[in-house]
Amino acid sequence: MQTVQLFIYVDGVANRIELFKDEKISVTSSIQNFNDIGKLFTDYSQSFTIPASKHNNAIFRHWYESAVGENNDENPLNVDGAFDHRIKYYGFIEIDTIPFRDGKFILQKSNKKNGFIESYTINFVGNLVQLKDKFKDDKLISLNGYDTLNFEYNVGNVTNRIYTLYDDITFPLIGSNRRYEFGTSTSSDITTTSGAIDYRELFPAIQVKKIFEFIEDTYGLNFSGTFLNYTEFTKLYLYCKNAETFNFYGDALSPNFSSKTTGFTEFDLALEQCTISFELDPLADRLESWIKIEPTSSTITYSVDIYDNGVLYTSYNDLQGDTDLGYFSKIRINETIIGGQYVTHKFTYKVTSNLPMTFDAFVNLKRNYGIGANYFYRTAYSYSNTTSSDLQIKRYIPDITVEAFLSGIVKALNLVVIPIDQNTFEFQQIEAWYQIGNVVDVTKYIQANDIEITTANLFKKIDFKYEKSENILNNKYSSQNSPLEYGDLMFDNPNSAFTSNYEVKLPFENIMFERYTDSTFLTATCWNKDLQAYTPKPLLLYSNGIEQFKLDGTAIDAYYTDGTTTTDFSQYHRFSNEIAIGGTDLSYINTLNWNAEISTWYLQTVTNGLFQRYYSNQIFNLYNQRTRVLKVKGNFTPKLLTSIKLNDRLIVSNKRYIINTMTTDLTTGEVELELLNDFRQIGGANIFRRTNIPELEVDNTAQVVEYLIYKGDLDYFDVKLAAGFLSYPLTTDNDTDITLEVTIPANTSAVDRTDNIILEGFKNGTSEFIYIPIYQYA
């Protein structure tokens, strides 16, 4: 029998929970289950009971008293501030004093018997559940940090983000009001002054990595993992188009009221803001007020929001020029009386505009007395206010929850999220995660006479898909390839004995780009089949760097305008749904499509879709004819129980398995394992296990390629000097995955050549050299 100890943190103090001697405590562990491959799992327990001992009652603060005790001086525990069953309390589990799991405890109920509280029922959940708990139903727009991306909205600042590289915020050349054409000599041809791109048409895009940082900051989290620094993640952007057409939104401005009618006590100009604050006069029949705006420009569109005691009272939108908004408030004497008093009304005002706007504002109050024309006016004045010229980036964030956004990225890239503690989470691509696991032979701990071998409960069809797109090109594709939508994939086994289907669906849209013939211009248009602008679902894009404008191989300029002046520019920040991570070796083009599709840029089929890169190894292993599900029982020692990780591969009778689920009786050490055959490559210096680019063939141009070097099962590795033309940073004692920037100079030798990235890996005191070849044509 093993000693199990549970600790729960209350008010920052770790309290050991007393247990019944014969209580069974079991924990089931699973990260991804083959029956639900699109979801992440975590550690959890079946409910179990603990005694209502004096010690435990102190921890849970006699929680039951709130229901059964009389609240008086002799029973002071029946008050607010008792143990809060509405929240989860951080804690951990030890086996023979060895840490086993940490997570959260939940108090479910107390149990009364023969008139006395006998026990509590509690539950334990792992830290992964914490993420969803923290996010709740929060929208992505609610995150902190967007203000750090704001900038003065003008033609120079926007166009700089078109033709130079900005990592955090940029403006893809994606049309909404119209289709951007190139070299067509039409009125939409951006290589002509008449077809110039109006900078006020463009929506921004935010680096996904930056949004992850905002999530960390907002919820006090720490995200880790080498994958978060890799090109396929750092070059990923969220297109922020939440309306059919672009409108500028600056920060709302409260007019600066500097003077008022003498003796007008109802107006408070404290902090230079105008606040109408008044109670009804018992002699007054009615109080009425209005606001008037006089802008210096008659063409700028603006809005006025009016708040009563901080709550939006009314709005006036799509205004232009001088506007007398009339009597927006009519407060009558017969309104509700609270506590014998009329409500005090405090009206405040905010003005926003679609371009920076200078304006005067006037607020008038009219007090009516009795019957007839018995009234008088009072006015407050505000001169030369200017609305913000800073673009408020958060105003363009798509409508999606934080949880849906994060889980969508995790699904797309088939990541596992490993809880390190209650606030730290490591992101790993699932295959890389398996590579860093250990191989553990547990044969001697398994009950050989109690083994069940079954088939995996597979699906006849697995659909990998995006949200359906309204895009005109996507519609054309789906009409020709029904039932497939552009970029989606159906993993189908028509001869399968299984009948159920499964769906891995992302909360994003995936639109088709278009490249103009014989040009270097790639664009997309958010038009539906009726050639009308539409608002897409949240849309992911890859940054492909800066591209020179060319037509028929010759440099050509395009044009942008601010509505008055037209300016030429020679390059642009190219976006698409694919990225080339292998320089000019086109076999390393990765795409956001699930399926293999023809690249609109390279005009060849790209097979490295999301399925091929992130799911195929897992799915093909699962659907391998030799794959079996092994259900076994065993008795593990405390040391073995506390050391096994879910990415370890287990050897049972000379066959290797991955863990699907592992249920542990913590008190006896008995485990029930559901295992899956593992046919992945393992052992040796296999290049495919050490890098994401095992071999490269590039043309003779100079280029820089970023490699991801996996530590895998090595203790550490050194990056050694190349023998030939390659150059890269040399490092030693690397005990984590690294990104390695490799410079390949132009080949001017007139002959093909080969060089190698050289690594020396160390494991258990021995070393091995690993060579990653690069072949460059003359």
pLDDT digits (tens, 9 = 90+) for 449-483: 889 998 877 888 889 999 999 999 999 999 999 88
What pLDDT is recorded for position 24? 83
Residues 487 and 368 in one domain: no
CB 664 within 8 A of CB 27: yes
pLDDT value of position 78? 45
Q: Which amino acid is at 143?
A: L
Band (pLDDT 50/70/90 cuts) for residue 680 is confident
- The residues, any chain, with a CB within 8 Å of residue 251's CB and separated by 6 or more, are 352, 388, 390, 392
Q: Same domain, yes or no, for 470 and 606?
A: yes
Q: Which residues contact 103 (CB under 8 A, 6 or more apart)?
A: 42, 43, 90, 91, 92, 124, 125, 126, 127, 129, 419, 422
Range of the domain at 594: 461-620
Closest CA to 596 of 586, 604, 606, 588: 606
Q: What is the DSSP letter of 371?
A: S
Which band of pLDDT confidence, cut at 50, 70 and 90, is reported for residue 240? very high
* DSSP, residue by residue, 186-216: STTBTTSGGGPEEGGGPPPEEEHHHHHHHHH
Examine the fold and report which residue of 365, 387, 409 is the final residue of a domain before the chain moves on.
387
Does a structural domain hold residue 48?
yes
In a domain, 502, yes or no: yes
What pLDDT, on a 0 to 100 scale, did the predictor assign at position 289? 79
Average pLDDT over residues 686-697: 85
Interval 511-538 mean pLDDT: 96
pLDDT at 273 over 70: no
Question: Has residue 336 got a pLDDT over 50?
Answer: yes
| 11 Rama class: left (phi>0) / alpha (psi -120 to 50) / beta | left
Token pair, residue 173, equals 């050349």
CATH number at residue 739: 2.60.40.10
For the ranges 21-30, 212-221, 362-371, 767-776, the lowest mean pLDDT is seen at 362-371
Task: Check whether residue 698 and residue 594 sit in a common domain.
Answer: no
Q: Is 0.85 topped by the overall pTM?
A: no
Q: What is the pLDDT of residue 364?
A: 82
Residue 334, pLDDT > 60, answer no
The answer, yes or no, to whether residue 750 has pLDDT greater than 70, is yes
Position 171 in a domain: no
DSSP helix/strand/coil, 249: coil
Show the CA angle centred on residue 141, arms to residues 137 and 145, nearest 5°. 120
> How far is it, in rounded angstroms, from Cα 695 to Cα 707?
11
The pLDDT, as a whole number, for residue 272 is 46
Residue pair 670/26 in contact (Cβ under 8 Å)? The answer is no
539-548 and 302-308 beta bridge pairing: unpaired
Q: How many CA atoms lie within 13 A of 434 on its CB side?
A: 23
Average pLDDT over residues 344-359: 84
What are 257's two structure tokens?
């009221």
Q: Which amino acid is at 156?
A: G
- 475 within domain boundaries: yes
When mean pLDDT is compared over 27-36, 75-84, 112-121, 549-558, the highest value belongs to 549-558
Structure tokens at 627: 């794959």
Closest CA to 576 of 530, 521, 538, 624: 521
The confidence band for 617, taking pLDDT boundaries of 50, 70 and 90, is confident
pLDDT band at 268 (very low <50, low <70, confident <90, very high): low
* Exposure b/e, 169-207, CB count within 10 A at least 16 = b: bbbbbbbbebbbbbbbeeeebbbbeebbbebbbbbbbbb
Instruction: Judge whether 217 lies within some domain.
Output: no
- Decide if pLDDT at 189 tops 90: yes
pLDDT digits (tens, 9 = 90+) for 80-138: 556 888 888 989 999 988 888 888 899 999 888 887 889 999 988 887 766 777 888 89
Range of lowest pLDDT (17-31, 397-411, 498-512, 568-582): 17-31
Output the pLDDT for position 27: 87
Distance CA 346, CA 622 (A): 65
- pLDDT tens-digit readout, 590-605: 999 999 999 999 999 9
pLDDT of res. 77: 45
DSSP string, 39-103: S----EE--EEEE--HHHHHHTTTTTHHHHS--BTTBTTSSTTS--TTS-EEEEEEETTEEEEEE
In the predicted structure, residue 370 carries a pLDDT above the cut 60: no
Nearest-angstrom CA–CA distance, 549 and 485 = 31
Torsion of CA 236, 251, 144, 40, to 10 degrees: -50
| Chain mean position to CA 47 | 32
pLDDT surpasses 50 at 403? yes
In sign, the C-alpha dihedral spanning 384, 387, 388, 389 is negative
For residues 275-295, average pLDDT: 68
Q: Per the domain annotation, does 296 fall within a domain?
A: yes
The answer to whether 665 and 24 have CB atoms below 8 angstroms apart is yes
So what's the pLDDT on residue 331?
Answer: 63
Residue 153 inside a domain? The answer is no
Domain count, the chain: 4
For residue 70, is pLDDT > 70? no
- Sign of the C-alpha dihedral, residues 608, 232, 541, 490? positive
* pLDDT value of residue 217: 96
Of 96, 119, 134, the last residue of a domain is 134
- Residue 511, pLDDT above cutoff 90: yes
pLDDT of the residue at 421: 81
Q: In angstroms, rounded to a whole number, what is the distance separating the alpha carbons of residues 263 and 453?
A: 91
Do 373 and 474 sit in the same domain of this protein?
no
Q: Domain end: 620, 648, 663, which one?
A: 620
C-alpha span between 744 and 753 (Å, rounded): 11
Distance CA 157, CA 25 (A): 61
State how far the alpha carbon of 130 is from the alpha carbons of 32, 97, 419, 425, 474, in Å.
Answer: 17, 25, 9, 10, 38
Please indicate, yes or no, whether residues 353 and 489 belong to a single structural domain of this protein.
no
pLDDT at residue 373 tops 50: yes
What residues contact 297, with CB distance under 8 A and at least 6 apart?
A: 355, 357, 358
Q: What is the pLDDT of residue 233?
A: 92
Q: N- to C-terminal Cα distance for the chain? A: 70
- Per residue in 549-571, is it b (16+ CB within 10 Å) or e — as a string? bbbeeeebebbbbbeeebbebeb
Domain membership flag for residue 760: yes
Q: What percentage of the chain carries pLDDT values higher than 70? A: 88
Clarify whether residues 579 and 483 are in a common domain: yes
Kindly state the average pLDDT of the residues 208-220: 96
CA-CA distance, 43 to 101, in Å (whole number)? 8
Which stretch, 273-287, 403-417, 517-531, has highest mean pLDDT? Answer: 517-531
pLDDT at 64 over 90: no
Examine the domain organization and report whether 383 and 494 are in the same domain. no
How far apart CA 550 and CA 574 sit, in angstroms, is: 13
Is residue 571 domain-shared with residue 694, that is, in the same domain?
no
List the structure tokens of 45.
Answer: 């327990």
Q: Which residue has the higher pLDDT, 381 or 396?
A: 396
Q: What pLDDT score was predicted for residue 76?
A: 45
**Reported confidence tier of residue 659, pLDDT bands at 50, 70, 90:** very high
Q: Is residue 531 helix, strand or coil?
A: coil
C-alpha closest to that of 353 among 361, 363, 342: 361
**What SS3 state is found at 522?**
strand
Backbone dihedral angles phi then psi of residue 611, each to the nearest 5 degrees: -65, -50
296-305, 662-671, 747-756, range with greatest mean pLDDT: 747-756
Two tokens, residue 489: 């994939």
Same domain, 691 and 610: no
pLDDT, tens digit, for every residue of 164-174?
988 899 999 99
pLDDT for the residue 271? 44
Res 309 pLDDT > 90 = no
Instruction: Return the structure tokens found at 380.
Output: 């407050």
